[in-house]
Copies of this chain bind each other. A is one copy, B any other.
């Protein structure tokens, strides 16, 4: 699995819980984070480099645990790689359509994900009548990467980003960036209990389980999964923030640089 940084660990955690026998290699591209404001070509180039590296590590499937990379690079990686590739956009869209009663669905994501229209297409593919409000929230990733997850400034910025969704009376809001689940309680406080928050981590893990079953790729259930964490920059910072958010699942971080 890979992400631009730490956010994808939310997906890693769901996979560890749902698939305890599977081993994971997690790559966080912390030397080039964030992906959200960057162009599709640049994100595709980074994704291809990382996928090639993961294949060299002997992985049997790849999970793109980053919405921006999924939005820009999923079709390309599915075409260029011989292993199955799972993204986070389709699972999130499917969960949102299932959760919504009114069909008014909101999507918050990075600038790149929103511009790609990947969520709008994926939601409309499941439910052509859905009324979708989508908005980029570019500052939420830097706020999470700073660890400001319960801070007045974060609250003020989130309140401004979320106002249009209240106006459009969405009943379901997709957290369309793997960093956003770390802000879930702050977002819930702003939008109130009537709005369901969709975090694609659990749904992506479920998709991964189905894919492994369909392709007979499951690890033996007697095995216990082993985990490697690799970052492209400063292992110490990845370790500190990763442990803060996810506890001591992360014991050590390897370094692998590109370019």
A binding-site residues for B, Cβ under 8 Å:
30-32, 37-39, 42, 45, 49, 138-139, 142-143, 145-146, 148, 152-153, 156-157, 160, 232-234, 237, 257-259
Q: Are B31 and A38 in contact (CB under 8 A)?
A: yes
Min C-beta distance of A147 to chain B, whole Å: 10
Give the residues in chain B near A39, CB-CB below 8 Å: 233-234, 237
Name the B residues within 8 Å of A30 (CB-CB). 38
B142 x A42 contact (CB < 8 A) = no
Residue of B nearest to A39 (CB): B234
Q: List 29 A-B contacts (CB under 8 A).
A: A30-B38, A31-B32, A31-B38, A31-B42, A32-B32, A37-B145, A37-B237, A38-B233, A38-B234, A39-B233, A39-B234, A42-B232, A42-B233, A42-B234, A42-B257, A45-B257, A138-B142, A138-B146, A139-B139, A139-B142, A139-B143, A139-B146, A139-B148, A139-B153, A142-B142, A153-B153, A153-B156, A153-B157, A156-B156
Q: Nearest Cβ distance between residue A86 and chain B, in whole angstroms?
A: 26
Copies in the complex: 2
Q: Which residues of B contact A146 (CB under 8 A)?
A: 138-139
A156 to B154, CA, bound (A): 10
- Do A259 and B156 touch (CB < 8 A)? no
CA distance A178 to B187 in the complex (A): 33
Cβ contact of A156, chosen from B31, B37, B152, cutoff 8 A: B152
Residues of B with C-beta under 8 A to A152:
156
A-B contact sample (11 more), CB < 8 A, given A31-B32, A37-B237, A39-B237:
A30-B38, A38-B233, A38-B234, A39-B234, A42-B234, A45-B257, A138-B142, A139-B143, A152-B156, A153-B153, A258-B259
Which of chain B's residues has its CB closest to A49's CB? Answer: B259
The reply to whether A153 and B160 form a contact with Cβ atoms under 8 Å apart is: yes
Which residues of chain B have C-beta atoms less than 8 A from A160's C-beta?
153
List B contacts of A37 (CB < 8 A). Answer: 145, 237
Residues from chain B with a CB closer than 8 A to the CB of A49 are 259
Min CB gap A206→B, angstroms = 33
Distance between Cα atoms of A142 and B146 in the complex (Å):
11
Q: How far is the CA of A21 from the CA of B146 in the complex (A)?
A: 42
- Within the complex, what minimum Cβ distance (angstroms) separates A142 from chain B? 4
Chain B residues with Cβ below 8 Å from A45 are 257
